[in-house]
Structure 1
């Protein structure tokens, strides 16, 4: 009897973390419906809400020790809808549809990039360095695309009011966001931050200042912040590569000087 009850418990799923995942999935689905209806601002906000919920479900699962393979797979499927399909559809309906084939190709590049990014992440989750993401994370990429649409709508660019030049810029940003997701560029994950640890009082002041800044102008601050994060990845990787090359060149010159000195000393001793 006890064995049967234990098996039934094992076949069940944990409610709390999967509830957050379902809420994130709903937010992504709501973003799609809102974009179809022409409510692009609501669609962009829904994608950002999905980001918050997606960040909570993993933390809740770790804090309550309710991590399961089902939860991980369900989270990936939710991410594909909220951060893969929804942002591409929102930006396409907002301003890329007027471009014809180029518009839906840019949207497809983004969607394919998100799918490949999630598939690669799932296969490397056990061996990857927890401090870094390989490629731009799909939530951050979705924030760039959704934030761009939100800023444009805030300035009155939507529907017939979207200039063709702005559509080309949006298509470029959308396609680049998709390519960054499947790149080998490393992005800081911030997973080493422990919310249970004590923090300096200054850090709390900075957090309050950040909340006030976002509240002052949410679309521009959020879009600008995530755009800087997306750009900082390639920049930091280039700086790190240049630093390593300089170190190799310096070590090579030291070895060469040591070899020359050894040869000179040997020649003097032979004389």
Structure 2
């Protein structure tokens, strides 16, 4: 993938990985716009020179309005990065967890589908372009305190595979980015093993720049997640990660 002359929209790019990828695409020479819900994040990115658009992926009307605004300003749009994501802990023994599950699915899975649906006619009409969907290592190796997060990202993986198959021959590619734990928003304090954001972004951009770009962008730090079943380590790793269930409020003490 040539990163130097693209027109990119990063949905969910007002913070963390999305924000860093927007900056990296811009540094490589691409024109970059960012969509998100955070007024402060959008304002800060606008000051850096990015095009910014308010978008709530849980609201179909918001997605449609953002699409129209983006395409009016960037008719040459050829790359859509979809990375809406919420990570919520849930205790499945407590029926109150359902609202967290609903929010997670509507944002992570249905939100991704809304964005893809909104921009598919444009990219297919151009006959060239790429979707970059963002899943997680947790899609392949669940983190038991976040069951619906894992399920939603596993679903986005499956959806990405199907989308790639359905768009074959149209000129539109589908690349799945699979992050491990990355040190953003203080996560390095929660997970000392989280990959530094700068190192992660550098590795991602190097992988995206390969020709051909791999269908799954897998940094070194996520390989143990992606291939746990193949390597026979899955059961042991899930058991280890299940120790984190003690973090749930109802499991403490």
- Alignment TM-score, normalising by the size of structure 2: 0.34
| Structure with the larger helix share | 1
- Alignment TM-score, normalising by the size of structure 1: 0.32
| Structure with the larger strand share | 2
